[in-house]
Amino acid sequence: MAPPILLLQDIHLTFGGTALLEGADLSVESGERICLVGRNGSGKSTLLKLAAGLIEPDGGRYFLQPGTTLRYLAQEPDLTGFATTRAFVESGLGPTDDPHAAQVLLEALGLTGEEDPARLSGGEGRRVALAHALAPEPDILLIDEPTNHLDLPAIEWLEAALKSSSSAIVLVSHDRRFLENLSRTTVWLDRGRTRRLEQGFGAFEAWRDKVFEEEERDLHKLDRKIAMEEDWLRYGVTARRKRNQRRLGNLHDLRTSRREHRHAPPTAKMAVAESDISGKLVIEAKNISKTFGGRTVVEPFSVRIQRGDRIGIIGPNGAGKTTLLNMLTGELDPDTGWVKLGMNLEIASLDQRRARLDPETSLRATLTGGGSDMVMVDDKPRHVMSYMKDFLFTPEQARSPVSALSGGERGRLMLALAFARPSNLLVLDEPTNDLDLETLDLLQELIGDYSGTVILVSHDRDFLDRTVTSVIASEGDGTWTEYAGGYSDMLAQRRGGSGGGSDKSDRKPRKQSTAAAGGPPSDRRRMTFKDKHALETLPKRMAALETEIAGHQKTLSDPDLYTRNPGAFASATERLTRAQEELARAEEAWLELEMLREEIEGTG
């Protein structure tokens, strides 16, 4: 094994009386590809700053091989003090570096080098910072959330650039596909300590779950041993005093070990408040277009979105994704064409800029609207502290202003606001920004279980593959095309020349066989993640519907109900019909998926 060119050993660091790192290690060899993973707030960014030498630890060993060059890309780079973007990138070059590298990288990232750093968008600022880090071709690259604010073309360019780089890389990211494609070693920062897996991120989650299972098993054994020793203490302390004292000391040690054990951090308990079912047709758009300042961002485009569809909208920054989303939901009038919204729509939305958040308002007041301790969730009052806990906020944060929250915390707050409102259409604009992997997992499950319709904008390829049934993609020059399936399916259709078509106005979205869509499986002879998830969850859903139907039938079996309470009779009849229709769709979807599974496995 080659000696490390960077070593952090037994690192301890305390912030505000709370121990953040308690014996963390990080070693980097030449050319290594390491992903650093952990929950939001676990200390990943802090460990990177320690590795970059930007902050000093309270204790531990730090070693950087003499002559080793190192570059650090922060989550929020500071570009102040430079007249142009080229000047900022060139400031990171050494006397032996290629003087043309700055301009080459800036142009590759879609910039000229003459931009004023003070006027850059978040995505442009991130591109300039990437050029600053990559231009010197350092021995070690420390990169913190490089895909934040980048669009898909920029993410794929960066991925290719890092793959071809000779630098050792330590990478923090919430983008699963990015981590899977780049990492060969995984370092997991959990409860102040690090564990190392000599495999890439693709093997991490199964390994993490195994560690948690073993930890719970060991904790259970410890609890049993403490219980046995306490039983002895109550009934068995008699003779052999020295032995008893030693055993009593052991019991105190066991109790101390149990008390000092740090449990795995909790997981958010998000749930969407769902309203009454919408009509079958949710949105119909015909030949809609939009032009700003002589530039067309949406050419005439038509689409029909039906109940249960999960639609992903993708494209480069500036292509018009949010504009198209706003036209489809009635927030923005098209220049031409028309949009028809379906019956009984209740929309809950999350915008990527978190514009609904007042930075000076406290977390508590943001959730309650001020002047109350209750949050209306699904039209029912719930204490704000209880609801905050579901989204991993502590009671101490209740009075903190929104400006004090991290990016991930602001994202969870927006989800808490959006999900409290009863809805049958979720509109999510970049929902994955700043969320950790575990919260992303939960959000994916929530979207999978949601009985309504979902429209989302995202640059996260893995998230799209796991959640959507069709993709509306920018083809450039204001042209938009719908493709069946997720992001990977879209790429396959583009390579195969399908999915586009010259007459978009007559195209209808193809749906995969999910419980929500209720349609036939596509002609792909494989099961997607969503198909497998639906096959596993549909039986439980059908059982729940059968129980619900039985309850309604029991209510309607009362011969005096109509006379006594006509409103209750009408409501029970309507709910019975709705549940029976949903059960029929679920049974049909499950049967088709089961037949597909048997066909694939050759058991049918």
Using the Cα atoms of residue 154, residue 155, residue 160 and residue 166 in order, give the sign of their dihedral.
Answer: positive
- Residue 583: per-residue pLDDT: 80
Is 517's pLDDT higher than 50? Answer: no
What rounded mean pLDDT belongs to the chain?
81
Q: Confidence band (pLDDT; 50, 70, 90) for 33?
A: very high
Residue 562 CA neighbour count, 13 Å, CB half: 5
Q: Averaged over 186-203, what is the pLDDT?
A: 93
Indicate whether 547 pLDDT > 60.
yes
* 449 three-state secondary structure: helix
Does some domain include residue 265?
no
φ and ψ at residue 290, rounded to 5 degrees: -150, 135
Q: In this structure, what CATH number is given to the domain that contains residue 161?
A: 3.40.50.300
Average pLDDT over residues 482-501: 78
Our CA angle for 345, 473, 174, nearest 5°, is 85
512 pLDDT band (50/70/90 cuts)?
very low
**Binding residue per annotation — 183?**
no
Which DSSP helix (H) or strand (E) runs through 472? Answer: strand 470-476
The pLDDT of 289-308, averaged and rounded, is 92
Residue 45 assigned ligand-binding role: yes
User: pLDDT grade, residue 528 (50/70/90)?
Assistant: confident
Q: Is the pLDDT of residue 603 over 70?
A: no
Grade residue 226 by pLDDT with cuts at 50, 70 and 90: low
pLDDT of residue 219 exceeding 90, the answer is: no
535 vs 310, more confident: 310
What angle separates helix 122-134 from helix 152-164, to the nearest 10 degrees?
Answer: 10
Residues in CB range of 596: below 8 A, 6 or more apart: 513, 521, 527, 531
**Could you tell me if 256 and 323 lie in one domain?**
no
Mean pLDDT of 518-537: 62
The alpha carbon torsion through 479, 485, 490, 496 (nearest 10 deg) reads -110
CATH of the domain at 564: 1.10.287.380
CB of 592 closer than 8 Å to CB of 520: yes
Tell me if 38 is assigned to a ligand binding site.
yes
More confident residue, 472 or 597: 472
- Total-model pTM: 0.67
Both tokens of 481, joined, read 């095309």
The reply to whether 43 sits in an annotated binding site is: yes
| 408-447: burial string, b at 16+ Cβ within 10 Å, e else | bbbbbbbbbbbbbbbbbbbbbbbbbbbbbbbbbbbbbebb
Rounded CA-CA distance 104/162 in Å is 15
- For β-strands 453-457 and 470-476, DSSP reports them as unpaired
Strand 33-37 relative to strand 185-190: parallel, antiparallel, unpaired?
parallel
Query: Is 488 strand, coil or helix?
Result: helix
Same domain, 159 and 251: no
The answer as to whether 12 is a domain residue is: yes
- Per-residue confidence (pLDDT) for residue 516, from 0 to 100: 36
Residue with tokens 């009454």, as numbered in its chain: 276
Residues 6+ apart with CB under 8 A from 501: 481, 507
**Whether residue 79 has pLDDT greater than 90:** no
- Going by pLDDT thresholds of 50, 70 and 90, the confidence category of residue 57 is very high
Q: Grade residue 502 by pLDDT with cuts at 50, 70 and 90.
A: very low
Residue 130 to residue 153: CA distance in whole angstroms: 14
Contact 290, 470 (CB under 8 A): no
Q: Which residues pair with 348 in a beta bridge?
A: 426
Percent of the chain scoring above 90 in pLDDT: 33
Rounded CA separation 262/312 (Å): 39
* 269 inside domain: no
* Annotated binding residue 44: yes
pLDDT over threshold 50, residue 284:
yes
Per-residue pLDDT, 294: 86
Q: What is the pLDDT of residue 505?
A: 36
Nearest to 303, CA basis, from 87, 455, 415, 492: 455
Q: Is 486 annotated as a binding residue?
A: no
400 annotated as ligand-binding? no
268 domain-assigned: no
Q: What mean pLDDT is predicted for residues 424-437?
A: 83
Our separate counts of H helices and E strands in the chain read 18, 20
What is the C-alpha to C-alpha distance for residues 509 and 489, in angstroms, rounded to an integer? 13
Judge whether 166 lies within some domain. yes
CB-neighbour burial class of residue 217 (10 A; exposed 0-12, middle 13-18, buried 19+) = exposed
How many Å apart are CA 4 and CA 111, to the nearest integer?
Answer: 36
Q: Of 141, 171, 205, which one is at a domain's C-terminal end? A: 205
Half-sphere exposure of 314 (CA within 13 A, CB side): 28
Has residue 382 got a pLDDT over 90? Answer: no
Tell me, yes or no, whether 76 and 113 share the same domain: yes
Q: What's the Cα-to-Cα distance from 297 to each of 321, 404, 476, 505, rounded to whole Å?
A: 9, 36, 9, 17
Query: Is 500 part of any known ligand binding site?
Result: no
Distance CA(516)–CA(530), nearest Å, equals: 10
Residue 189 and residue 214 in one domain: no
23: exposed, middle or buried (C-beta count within 10 Å: 0-12, 13-18, 19+)?
A: middle
Output the DSSP codes for 121-181. -HHHHHHHHHHHHHTT--SEEEEESTTTT--HHHHHHHHHHHHH--SEEEEE-S-HHHHHH
The pLDDT assigned to 23 comes to 92
Contact 312, 319 (CB under 8 A): no
Is 40 one of the annotated binding-site residues? yes
Domain residue limits at 253: 206-260
* pLDDT reading at 197 higher than 60: yes
Residues 306 and 404 in one domain: yes
Count of domains forming the chain? 4
**In a 10 Å sphere around its CB, with 0-12 CB exposed, 13-18 middle and 19+ buried, how is residue 500 labelled?**
middle
Based on the fold, state whether residues 326 and 363 are members of the same structural domain.
yes
Answer whether residue 275 is part of any domain. no
CB 288 within 8 A of CB 327: yes
Average confidence (pLDDT) over 571-595: 80
Task: Answer yes or no: do 201 and 292 share one domain.
Answer: no
Least confident of 232-246, 276-290, 507-521: 507-521
Domain membership of residue 287 (yes or no) is yes
The reply, when asked if residue 317 is annotated as ligand binding, is: yes
Q: Are residues 183 and 139 in the same domain?
A: yes
Q: Mark out the alpha helices in 171-240 (DSSP H runs).
A: 176-182, 204-235
Do 211 and 194 lie in a common domain?
A: no
SS3 194: strand
Q: 525 pLDDT exceeds 80?
A: no
Residues 93 and 142 in one domain: yes
Task: Determine, yes or no, domain membership for 303.
Answer: yes
Question: In terms of domains, do 572 and 588 share one?
Answer: yes
If asked whether residues 97 and 223 sit together in one domain, one would say no
